[in-house]
Amino acid sequence: MTQLQPQSFVSNFSSQAEETDYFDYFYNEPGSEPGTLNIEPTARPSRIILIDYDEDDAIRKVDISPNALLPYLGKNSVSWMDVQGLGSEEVLREVGTIFDLHPLLLEDIVNVPQRPKLDEYKDKLMFIAHMVRRHDGVDGFVTEQVSFILGKNYLVTFQEEELEDCFDLVRERIRNNQGKVRQSKADYLAYLLLDSLIDGYFPILEHYEERIEVLEEKIISEPDRKIMQEIYSIRRELLALRRLLWPLRNVLNLMIRDDHDLLTQEVQIYFRDCYDHVIQILDILEAYRELASSLMDAYMSSVGNKMNEIMKFLTVFTAIFNPLTFIAGVYGMNFENMPELKWSWAYFACLGVMFSIASIMIFLFWKKGWFKTTYSLDEE
């Protein structure tokens, strides 16, 4: 039995630059046997990391086999089995057998992504939520499904990836015996993990706040067609976020409303805090969605305004030069009897008239305020 090693808590960060498919969903081949596990070829092999702790001690075992978990289940200590990677059907089925998971439940855990949901069983509580994090460098976010099985003395979590998760600070706290986690039961651990997961949505919100702010400025100063794409992207991604959070809100509502044998009332207060956070996130999401929709309106009228500016510009040119060109045309006619042509000062008079007409035109347009706006077009 090894003592927990600090360095092993450090997760390996690796860049994943693949395009996010925000409206992905899992589905079985129609007509296939219920409970079929769909192992994607690209899924990482499953590793199990066990952290077992009580007030006095905390051990951590990496790459433990499912059967080696059995001794820990009987103990009074809290056992957190973290299954990372959904690529090994055998391992997952063994875990399913050990914890007596319904085939449909295992299907929901493995066949990602699923909608957040809460299933209650006699001796365990199962819920699904989604971790989100920012892409490095590009806009948007990536999601990863995390499934929780909360039993009397244990918590099993299933993650799609073994890399990067938002649970390191919790692991740290278990290892260093910070806070009350080592004094608490598995339900408090479930809360801590879910809370970390939910807090991970806030930086994403901030990301969208920034993008909306950039758009607000851009629409006024330099409306171009990239704005349309950007607004569309934002609407699309906020929609995707909402799809993750609305059902999560219901999950949490069920957790804090009903009596559950596995959740002490004290820990329900904590879950209520989670619920408040989800509500707050949804609240902001809805506000952003409305803002994005108002921005679209603003952009559309801005396109119309821009057209008006261009039209004014065109009209000014046409209105000034059309009369002048006409006058020039008149005196370019070849009639034999055109008395003006012979007056020696006629040419200069004609130029003078032309100049006057142009001046009057410019003055009229200036009075209408067309040049003011034409100028502001220049600034853009």
CB atoms within 10 A of CB 97: 12
> For its own copies, which residue of 3, 25, 75, 97 counts as binding (CB under 8 A)?
25
With contacts defined by CB under 8 A, name the span among 41-49, 74-82, 87-95, 195-203 that binds its own copies.
195-203
- Residue 297 in the binding site for its own copies (CB under 8 A): yes
Of 50 and 132, the one with the shorter C-beta distance to its own copies is 132
- Residue 13 in the binding site for its own copies (CB under 8 A): no
The SS3 of residue 127 is strand
- Residue 276 in the binding site for its own copies (CB under 8 A): yes
- Residue 337 in the binding site for its own copies (CB under 8 A): yes
Could you tell me the smallest distance in angstroms from the CB atom of residue 160 to its own copies? 18
> For its own copies, which residue of 67, 97, 178, 183 counts as binding (CB under 8 A)?
178
Of 90 and 343, the one with the shorter C-beta distance to its own copies is 343
| Phi/psi at 47 (5° precision) | -115, 145
Own/partner pairs for 370-373, CB < 8 Å, 24+ apart?
Answer: 370/312, 370/316, 371/316, 373/308, 373/309, 373/312
C-alpha–C-alpha distance, residues 340 and 227, integer Å: 58
Record the tokens describing residue 329, joined without a space.
């045309």
Q: Report how far Cα 90 is from the mean position of its chain's Cα atoms.
A: 34
Contact code string over 63-92 relative to its own copies, x by CB under 8 A: ------------------------------
Of 69 and 101, the one with the shorter C-beta distance to its own copies is 101
- Residue 216 in the binding site for its own copies (CB under 8 A): yes
Question: Would you say 258 and 272 are in contact if contact means Cβ atoms under 8 Å apart?
Answer: no
Q: Binders of its own copies: how many residues, by CB under 8 A?
A: 121
Cα dihedral across residues 217, 222, 223, 227: positive or negative: negative
Question: What are the b/e assignments for 242-256, b being 16+ CB within 10 Å?
Answer: bbbbebbeebbbebb
Could you tell me the smallest distance in angstroms from the CB atom of residue 69 to its own copies? 25
> For its own copies, which residue of 45, 321, 359, 375 counts as binding (CB under 8 A)?
321
With contacts defined by CB under 8 A, name the span among 10-18, 40-48, 223-231, 253-261 that binds its own copies.
223-231
CB atoms within 10 A of CB 164: 17
Q: Which of residues 27-66 bind its own copies (CB under 8 A)?
A: 27-34
> For its own copies, which residue of 81, 118, 156, 291 counts as binding (CB under 8 A)?
291
Residue type, 125: L
- Residue 375 in the binding site for its own copies (CB under 8 A): no
Cα dihedral across residues 269, 157, 38, 104: positive or negative: negative
- Residue 138 in the binding site for its own copies (CB under 8 A): no
Q: Report how far Cα 115 is from the mean position of its chain's Cα atoms.
A: 16
- Residue 318 in the binding site for its own copies (CB under 8 A): yes
Taking alpha carbons only, the member of 26, 75, 30 closest to residue 50 is: 75
Of 56 and 378, the one with the shorter C-beta distance to its own copies is 378
